[in-house]
A and B are shown apart, each in its own frame.
Chain A
Amino acid sequence: MIEVDSLVKAFGGDPPKLAVDSLSFRAEPGQVYGLLGPNGAGKTTTLRMLATLLTPDSGTARVAGHDIRSSPEAVRASIGYLSGNTGLYGRLTAREMILYFARLQGVPEPERRTDRLLYRFGIDDYRNQRCDALSTGMGQKVSIARAIVHDPPVLILDEPTAGLDVLVSQTLLEFVEEAKDHGTCLIYSTHIMSEAERLCDRVGILHEGRLLAEGTPEELKEQSAERYLESAFIHFVRAASR
């Protein structure tokens, strides 16, 4: 469902800084692939390349069978994208916001789909409230509804719980589990190990743009001879820094 093949991305400066360095991995439907890494590891850059927001310098990736270089619009039609700093249109109501994206995505019967999502996420009572007046929790629910309004086979979640309190994070984590059971392929970037341990079927540890290790959480713990995923993560990062 997602095949990443030797992706490379560097940003300005002299010499340019490699944000992502020959990254390859694969994620299957009904699976959550976790990208773990400290700040500046290249997680967001990788996900932005998969979402076709950035163009890779070299390498490519296929998302839902579409190449990110040659078929970016088809890729965008197949993904739902949600990041921790994803915003809402403050001057639109919750319903208008979801409906707008439903129409942008070409969803058939967009009003019905929107109303269904409002009901599903328990935000029906707030449908006509402007987004800038919604609580953080309600806002995040609108963001999730916006991201999945076209029922995408692939979900890209970039630190989606950043800045959220425990209760709101819980809503999101439950949604990820539900989507996984539904057969969606998810890429989930985080630096919160408990989230990764709970959600991810496979994990890639990213540091300075390179993939240091990859496997199930259990495999990573075994490889590092550590008891916890957090300890395994520190083990791999320290080994790479030496």
Chain B
Amino acid sequence: MGGVLLVMMKEMRATLRDPHVIAYLAFPILLYPALIWGVTQFMTLEAGRIEGESLRVAVEAPEVLRQRFDEPPLTLVAGTLDTLDAGEADAFVQLKDDGVLHATVHHSSLRPRSTRTRKAVRKRLDALRDERLVTIAESVGLDPAAVARTSYKGIAIEAPAQTIPGLVAVLLAAMTLISMTLAVIYPAVHVTVSEREAGTLETTLVAPVSGRTLLLGKWAACALWAVSAAAINALAVLLTLAHIAAVMLKGALDVQFSLLGALASVPAVLGAAGFTAATLLLFMVPARTFKQGEVLGSLALGPLMLAMGVGAWGAIEQVAWVIWVPLAGLIPVLRDALIGEPSLAAIAYQALATAGLGALILSLGAALVRREDFLFGGVLPRWIRWAGAR
């Protein structure tokens, strides 16, 4: 165990000094908020511009009614339909009052400002109608509340997993797992191929430690990177979502995740990190150069991303069997945990299945670690060399 820790700490230290790895780890922390900040700034500016602008409306109506269209955001202008045609008004309203209001609103569907004016006119007409209703109610001795607008509350009939929080949880789970997988490539190349290329693997292999210890140490370092990347990514996504909900949607997105559920799903995430790290290490066996390592790492991403895709599809489409597919099932499992409906059996299954597969892959690697093809690389398919990885 001491040997494994020693190798792991060395790998962590060396990898931590790699600018690629640091850049990757810092990427979500910087990227997501930067993107959202940019979008928020744009939307705020746009909203400010719209709020600040006056929507010009020409009204043909009795003067008392006409004046009601000279309150922000509407500005009353003189004129008729020609004024709208000439672009000097954004809408032209004809209003008749025979006890009931009859409105005809002319607007240009090609001008966004004209569309906004039409909507503002509609709101003003609704307000006029409400005022009349209140006046009528009071005149016949009724409580004005009797004519108040109907209160409205929508309740979705879908299961929580299919609602917005469920979909956000799927997004969070998928992004976390994808970032975990991507984060392991560089460390996996470093601890294997770079050592082979630099000639340091040879010196390590003549130390009195078993191949299994070396492999476990390298694997542990990669798995730790995966977990760190997943945690950082999840945090960045959560903060970004919180910002979107609070600032951009002004509280309209009511998403609350279960901390207990998230904690309960940690074993499954750890299992996935171990499996991912083991898979990428195995893919490094044939590589002789850093470039080949990168190519093979990218190839390893194929099946891993496919599993993620299956998981996301199963989670969104409510496909029950996906939960039992190792790694893929982690997405619906995490989703359920995050929305407060964790299935402990599924979490335990995913943890055991991914950890078991990872252990199987590591055992295979341990069997290879002393062999010449692990030490010196080789057996690289011709087409990978053709792809430019010399």
Contacts and interface: CB of A to CB of B under 8 A. Distances in A.
A105 interface: yes
Nearest to B370: A55
Given A53-B205, A73-B210, A104-B204, A87 B10 contact: no
B119 interface: no
A8 B206 CA distance: 20
12 contacts: A11-B372, A53-B202, A55-B370, A74-B208, A83-B202, A87-B203, A89-B14, A91-B17, A104-B3, A104-B7, A104-B204, A146-B203
Contacts of A53: 202, 205-206, 370, 375
Interface string B207-223: 11110000000000000
Contacts of A104: 3, 6-7, 204, 207-209
A91 B21 CA distance: 13
A106 B208 contact: yes
Q: Which 7 A-B pairs have the closest CB atoms?
A: A87-B199, A87-B198, A77-B208, A91-B17, A104-B207, A76-B208, A81-B206
A55 B370 CA distance: 9
Contact of B198 (A88, A146, A147): A88
A100 interface: yes
A83 B203 CA distance: 9
Interface string A70-97: 0001101101010101111111100010
Contacts of B210: 73
Contacts of B200: 86-89
Interface residues of A, number: 31
A69 interface: no
Interface string B13-44: 11101100000000000000000000000000
Contact of B13 (A51, A96, A105, A106): A96
Given A81-B203, A87-B200, A90-B198, A100 B10 contact: yes
Contacts of B14: 89, 91-92
Given A86-B199, A87-B200, A105 B17 contact: no
A86 B63 CA distance: 95
A51 B206 CA distance: 6
Given A76-B208, A87-B199, A101-B203, 15 more contacts: A51-B206, A53-B370, A74-B208, A76-B206, A76-B207, A85-B199, A88-B200, A89-B198, A90-B198, A91-B13, A91-B17, A91-B18, A104-B3, A104-B204, A105-B207
B110 to A, nearest CB: 61
Interface string A91-134: 11000100011011110000000000000000000000010000
Interface string A130-141: 100000000000
B199 A101 contact: no
Nearest to B9: A100
Interface of A: 11, 51-55, 73-74, 76-77, 79, 81, 83, 85-92, 96, 100-101, 103-106, 130, 146-147
Contacts of A54: 372
A100 to B, nearest CB: 5
Given A89-B14, A91-B17, A92-B13, A73 B202 contact: no
Contacts of B207: 76, 101, 104-105
Interface centre among B17, B207, B375 (most CB of A within 10 A): B207
A83 B202 CA distance: 9
B225 to A, nearest CB: 15
A146 B204 CA distance: 11
B202 A86 contact: yes
Contacts of B206: 51-53, 76, 79, 81
A74 to B, nearest CB: 7
Interface string B30-63: 0000000000000000000000000000000000
A53 B18 CA distance: 29
A130 B372 CA distance: 30
Contacts of B205: 53
Contacts of A85: 199
Interface centre among B7, B17, B200, B203 (most CB of A within 10 A): B203
B136 to A, nearest CB: 82
Nearest to A156: B206
A140 to B, nearest CB: 13
B242 to A, nearest CB: 36
A79 B207 CA distance: 9
Interface centre among B10, B18, B204 (most CB of A within 10 A): B10
Contacts of A77: 208
B82 to A, nearest CB: 76
Contacts of A87: 195, 198-200, 203
Contacts of A55: 370
A53 B204 CA distance: 10
A171 to B, nearest CB: 19
Nearest to A52: B206
A130 B18 CA distance: 12
A76 B7 CA distance: 17
Interface in B177-217: 195, 198-200, 202-210
Nearest to A74: B208
A53 B372 CA distance: 8
Interface centre among A11, A92, A104, A130 (most CB of B within 10 A): A104
A57 to B, nearest CB: 12
A101 B6 CA distance: 10
A105 B203 contact: no
A86 B10 contact: no
Nearest to B18: A91
Interface centre among A76, A87, A88 (most CB of B within 10 A): A87
A83 B199 contact: yes
